[in-house]
A and B are shown apart, each in its own frame.
Chain A
């Protein structure tokens, strides 16, 4: 219903970002970083020119996970932490679709942490976008795996005292084929990185710093901290890991682009019918 208003059988010659946008009004707080991520996703899809009905956006639960309904693609808004699993099943069963999976840092790294590791190593050809705001937005301000250890909250007064998680290095070590960091405030740059991730074969992981202006208003300052990565992307995971481990966390760009062959376990052409299977049971 929210597909573009095209008469049956007539697809536009080219798709613009507006063709990937639905007309539903987001529930996000004014100023939330996720608005720009949404805009960047639609821009990136326009760049790759895949018709909206051949794209599926899959998510879990959180403010960030609301994204699918705001696109005019097929969407799946599932349960907390399991977006990668649903996206993996969809892409493996339907290799013809372009699959984007959208998460937050709580959704993707905490409850969904195990799926993150295994999606990286499985290397299914999909694009994983995590809107990282170093907080649980939807449940109103609890620490996430990427929150600084001394960040004070009602649930962890004085801070968790637990070191924060490093998603990029973990993705790299687990086998992701494309690792990038983006900043939602840079809509054009983010769109470019997402388009590159979609085009790159295998599992593409894009960490997007996306401020939660409500529970972490100080993140407005990220705008002044981010800077483009001053180096070319590498295909050497060890070099990439070293760069990421030693950068300041605000280095924006494609940091690693590898050559691993994507997951090959999809459907195979049928070579037998039911009668052939039955024959094996017959005595």
Chain B
């Protein structure tokens, strides 16, 4: 099965709750991101859940941009198959992302009557077109076109005007006159589409909710996990994590250092962690490539570090601002020598916090590098989510006491973890080494020493009890989907829709990718006849990794396509249903 077959855009069977998908598109500078952010903020104030994905062209400023939202009374973790509402401020370069904004026959498309012809791709959907003199209306209100768009999209989505106004008040940081004009334009927008407005979305007075991006969540999880030193080099889409962390670290007793490049970043955090301070860097594919030598050093010298890779389209500089899950092979295999390391991946935006926190704990406990595979979708999307359940406990690094008699830094202990002396501790000085070494940290080229240290470094990872966090498992059907990272959201939704069509699948979303938990996977797959692996990349990297490391039951199938097009619930659902039927005919 190949994901390149076109998406079947049927009306989604929303099993749980009515939800609405809204796209606000325009050329850069027209304020679509502000409108989207404030719409999401208003939804949060209205007690709703939601998600906002940013998409833009390659331009630094200007060019095309769109805020893609999905609002609901229940938590949503994926974009829908199509958009119910498109508010287009102009049509400049819109063709470049038209395929990211599919519409349905039931959709409403609001555009500026003076912006020219509606592009054929949008007309072809059969969506209802409402052309309004948006620019003129904004001018008359003394405000900006994006405030009209906020009113229009808010009203069409069913977000109450009172909360839209609150969001504008809290978001507007300038003088009072401008605020009044914005509110006027917002109101004009709401009025203009009042006759089309949907019934209000109802918020649930649910548990505590947070509004944050996956990058912020990861930064927060890292801090909570104990990270107090960060060194990094800017790269899209990881930079926002660092920008969030810089002031937050300063407030919590740590610091962030902008390095001259990724080679410096990785070695700086190794130096800091050698000094006893839990340390992290964040990057994307090109930076991760540069860091590999350093990551290997952390493996050999047994220095705990956390590297967050916010994956984007690759290889090389690829597609910087768009999502893909194509660094998996590199993360699990891309170091020289036998270099056991941890690789984890968050299964949702809010899970970025818990998983990064966990990564810090694991790295510290096992004195090794932990790679966190996030991606642009998880990192740069903002979401209203239930406050995540975070791991408990401070990081536990096994440190050597002062004056420990016969201290050996790389002692071959039973579980493979050796006490680490922290500079400043008297009587246990040693030299950490990336060269192979003896238990006493003396460089050695002898086979026996090499074998002993290789065994020890592997054993401490494979022998560790990772508990239940290794994966999220749902269902007990004989057909199973295995997935990871940002593919999890659309897979979960597809599984719910497939169930509504009578096709039950078991979902296993792997959080701990390396070391692969074979025994736990055995239990999770008990009774499973056949597996389909879902992921967003061109080479089916997860499938091949699993097949190389584990005997999957039956003839494993694959559903995958590369970014930047997101995995849509409908395409996965269609694939699951077709795959299940194929199973039936075989049986």
**Residues of chain A at the chain B interface (Cβ within 8 Å):** 1-3, 6, 8-9, 11, 24, 51-54, 56-58, 66, 68-69, 72-79, 81-82, 85-94, 96-97, 114-115, 117-118, 265-274, 276-278, 281-283
Contacts and interface: CB of A to CB of B under 8 A. Distances in A.
Given A53-B429, A274-B224, A89 B268 contact: yes
Contacts of A69: 431, 433, 441-443
Contact of A94 (B231, B248, B264, B272): B272
A5 B45 CA distance: 66
Given A85-B267, A93-B271, A270 B423 contact: no
Contacts of A283: 44-45, 209-211, 384
Interface string B234-276: 0000000000000010111111010111011111111111111
Contact of A114 (B211, B260, B269): B260
Contacts of B266: 85
A282 B350 CA distance: 13
Contact of B430 (A1, A11, A97, A265): A1
B252 A82 contact: no
B402 interface: yes
Contact of A76 (B216, B253, B274): B274
Contact of B251 (A58, A81, A271): A271
Nearest to A6: B427
A97 B261 CA distance: 25
Contacts of A77: 431-435, 443
A137 to B, nearest CB: 16
B294 A93 contact: no
A8 B269 CA distance: 31
A53 B427 contact: yes
A9 B408 CA distance: 20
Given A53-B424, A79-B293, A118-B260, A1 B407 contact: yes
Contact of B261 (A54, A72, A114): A114
B440 interface: yes
Contact of B210 (A54, A117, A281): A281
B423 A97 contact: yes
B429 A72 contact: yes
Given A89-B267, A267-B253, A76 B260 contact: no
Q: When A and B form their complex, which 6 residue pairs have the shortest distance between CB atoms, in order from nearest?
A: A75-B431, A89-B268, A89-B271, A270-B253, A93-B272, A85-B267
Contacts of B403: 6, 8-9
B255 A92 contact: yes
Contacts of A68: 431
A56 to B, nearest CB: 5
Contacts of A11: 426
A1 B428 contact: yes
Contacts of B257: 88-89, 92, 265
Nearest to B46: A283
Q: Residue among B248, B252, B277, B442 with the most chain A CB within 10 A? A: B252
A34 B30 CA distance: 64
A51 B426 contact: yes
Given A68-B431, A278-B220, 16 more contacts: A1-B440, A3-B427, A53-B423, A72-B429, A75-B431, A85-B265, A89-B231, A89-B257, A89-B272, A90-B275, A93-B272, A94-B272, A96-B424, A114-B264, A271-B251, A281-B220
B279 A82 contact: no
Q: Residue among B44, B211, B248, B427 with the most chain A CB within 10 A? A: B427
A1 to B, nearest CB: 5
Nearest to B45: A283
B10 interface: no
Interface in B402-460: 402-403, 406-408, 421, 423-435, 440-443
A89 B229 contact: yes
Interface string B356-381: 00000000000000000000000000
A282 B294 contact: no
A91 B248 CA distance: 21
B73 to A, nearest CB: 14
11 contacts: A53-B429, A73-B429, A85-B266, A86-B271, A89-B231, A89-B272, A90-B272, A267-B229, A268-B253, A276-B251, A283-B384
B229 A78 contact: no
Nearest to B402: A8
B420 to A, nearest CB: 11
Nearest to A115: B264
Q: Residue among B265, B274, B275 with the most chain A CB within 10 A? A: B275
A2 B430 contact: yes
B263 A265 contact: no
A73 B428 CA distance: 9
Contacts of B251: 270-272, 276-277
A90 B267 CA distance: 10
B223 interface: yes
A266 B424 CA distance: 17
